[in-house]
Amino acid sequence: MTEVLLFHHAQGLTEGVRGFADDLRASGHIVHTPDLFDGRIFQSINEGLAYIGEIGFDEMRERGVHVADELPPNLVYAGFSFGVLPAQKLAQTRPGARGALLFYSCLPISGEWSFGRWPDGVSVQIHGMDNDPFFVAEGDIEAAREIVDKVENAELFLYPGDQHYFADSSLPSFDADATALLTVRVIEFLDRV
């Protein structure tokens, strides 16, 4: 059994994110799903990003980071897109992290947007679609490749398609086949960390 702190994407804590967490729970894992938007659900990525922009990306990231203050240190940190910001920061900076699951987004481990070097012994899986305009065109895929090149226990999984939130069953971007494979890989990861 692994304990996971799972952060939602820019559209909020949707039914699809909740459903994904339930799938992990059904496999015997403990999954925490904080709502960083206080119940708000947005109809589009742009609406969600506008809300985050009003609050401030750094402030929103830190809201997520502080959720971990009430939880034990030996967690796997997971995030969908925007949720990767607090998840990756915690995985890289909070002592005791067991792993990271980064969906549709990834930050570099070098340069000005970095949280520093990746800690030894912290495994990571990164998942995205090979033609996702956010993941590919905005450079996240390059950050993911950097992590795979430099981190011992790092995996990058690319799925065919161009959808960003492909594992959220409550959105039109949902891809059932890609999500089924992603879920198998995630559960295998959680079973071994």
DSSP secondary structure letter of residue 68: G
State residue 192's pLDDT score.
95
Which is it for strands 76-80 and 99-103: parallel, antiparallel or unpaired?
parallel
pLDDT digits (tens, 9 = 90+) for 5-42: 999 999 999 999 999 999 999 999 999 999 999 999 99
Which is it for strands 99-103 and 30-32: parallel, antiparallel or unpaired?
unpaired
Q: Do 57 and 64 contact (CB within 8 A), yes or no? A: no
Residue 160 CA to residue 151 CA, distance in Å, equals 25
Q: Do 37 and 12 contact (CB within 8 A), yes or no? A: yes
Banded pLDDT at 68 (limits 50, 70, 90)? very high
Q: Interhelix angle for 57-67 vs 45-55, to 10°?
A: 90
State residue 181's pLDDT score.
98
Q: Do 24 and 106 contact (CB within 8 A), yes or no? A: no
pLDDT digits (tens, 9 = 90+) for 108-155: 998 777 898 899 999 999 999 999 999 999 999 999 999 999 999 999
Residue 133 CA to residue 121 CA, distance in Å, equals 31
All domains of the chain in start order, with CATH: 3-192 (3.40.50.1820)
Query: Considering the chain, what percentage of its residues have pLDDT values greater than 70?
Result: 100
Residue 53 CA to residue 184 CA, distance in Å, equals 34
Banded pLDDT at 165 (limits 50, 70, 90)? very high
State residue 103's pLDDT score.
98
Residue 25 CA to residue 33 CA, distance in Å, equals 11
Burial (CB count <10 Å: 0-12, 13-18, 19+), residue 51 = middle
Please state the rounded mean pLDDT for residues 76-105.
97
